[in-house]
């Protein structure tokens, strides 16, 4: 079987494309999860990368799990063994939110089609979500008699608020792209053919900034979701002290004063 993730790079921008369109980019095997984890590890380690785009090949972003494997108990849920299933989730799909949500580099989800179940939660693991006007979203686990096993119950309320997250989780109802924008699930909806150009343009505006400041800023946004203000201020002071000593900071100040475009070197 081909790799689940197609990885391409353009300068400081990496694009991760879920590339099993014949399966609607469903995530249903340990190898797919391993690819996500390894990609996140490699991107974090490469300080020349400043932005990431996550999207899907074909008509779907990701349709979630593979229902045939779910029926045959050949996916993450071994046959009639709850303990084995619990451990399977821990070793497989639950590694993705830990890797993708904590990826140091800003991540844009370019949602090109169906983002269902795990697919929706994948989008919520990203920092920014933009959608094709053909996109459809659903936290649909309950319709299959299961629950969000990939961290969706933690992720979704932080994106759309508790009331909307509860409505989506308890009903499993689908949202159109415009409905997703109205509740803050995505920040922008664009015509389908303009999705990737829009994502690349946004990634380019992000990558134009100093890489160290971007990574520090993302970490502060993440930590700010669950720590006290005084704790975040202490962390901000520490990050700011390091940022002030970077060459890119000095270049940014000089360029601003000299009314020229800065040249950042990631140092």
Tokens (6 digits) for 152: 């969706």
What confidence category does residue 28 fall into, taking pLDDT thresholds of 50, 70 and 90? confident
Please say whether the beta carbons of 85 and 76 come within 8 A: yes
pTM: 0.92
Task: Quote the percentage of the chain above a pLDDT of 90.
Answer: 78
According to the 3-state scheme, what is the secondary structure of 13-63? EEEEEECCHHHCCCCCCHHHHHHHHHHHHHHHHCCCCCEEEEEECCCEEEC
DSSP letters, 182-209, are HTTS-SEEE-GGGHHHHHHHHHHHHHTS
DSSP letters, 68-118, are HHHHHT-SSS-TT-HHHHHHHHHHTTTHHHHHHHT-SS-EEEEE-SEEETH
Question: Which residues neighbour 161 within 8 Å (Cβ) at sequence distance 6 or greater?
Answer: 183, 184
State the residue for tokens 């119950």.
Answer: 153
Q: Which of 67-76, 78-87, 226-235, 256-265 has the lowest mean pLDDT?
A: 67-76
For residue 138, report the phi and psi dihedrals to the nearest 5 degrees: -160, 135
> pLDDT tens, 192-248?
999 999 999 999 999 999 999 999 999 999 999 989 999 999 999 999 999 999 999
In a 13 Å sphere around the CA of 193, the CA atoms on its Cβ side amount to: 0
């Amino acid at each position: 079987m081909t790799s689940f993730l197609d990885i391409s790079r353009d300068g400081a921008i990496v694009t991760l494309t879920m590339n099993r369109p014949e399966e609607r980019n469903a995530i249903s095997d340990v190898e797919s999860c391993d690819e996500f984890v390894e990609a996140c590890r490699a991107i974090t380690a490469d300080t020349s990368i400043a932005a990431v785009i996550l999207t899907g090949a074909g008509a779907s972003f990701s349709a979630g799990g593979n229902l045939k494997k779910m029926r045959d108990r050949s996916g993450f849920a071994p046959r009639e063994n709850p303990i084995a299933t619990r451990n399977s989730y821990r070793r497989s799909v639950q590694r993705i939110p830990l890797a993708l949500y904590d990826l140091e580099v800003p991540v844009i989800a370019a949602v090109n089609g169906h983002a269902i179940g795990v697919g929706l939660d994948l989008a919520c693991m990203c920092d920014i979500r933009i959608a094709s006007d053909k996109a459809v979203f659903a936290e649909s686990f309950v319709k299959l008699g299961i629950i969000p096993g990939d961290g969706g119950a933690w992720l979704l309320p932080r994106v759309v608020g508790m009331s909307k997250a509860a409505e989506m989780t308890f009903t499993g109802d689908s949202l159109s792209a415009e409905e997703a924008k109205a509740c803050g699930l995505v920040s922008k909806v664009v015509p389908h053919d303009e999705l990737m150009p829009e994502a690349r343009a946004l990634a380019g505006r992000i990558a134009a900034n100093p890489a160290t400041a971007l990574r520090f800023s993302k970490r502060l946004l993440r930590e700010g979701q669950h720590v006290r203000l005084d704790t975040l201020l202490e962390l901000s002071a520490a990050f700011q002290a390091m940022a002030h000593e970077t060459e890119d900071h000095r270049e940014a100040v000089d360029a601003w004063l000299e009314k020229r475009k800065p040249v950042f070197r990631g140092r």
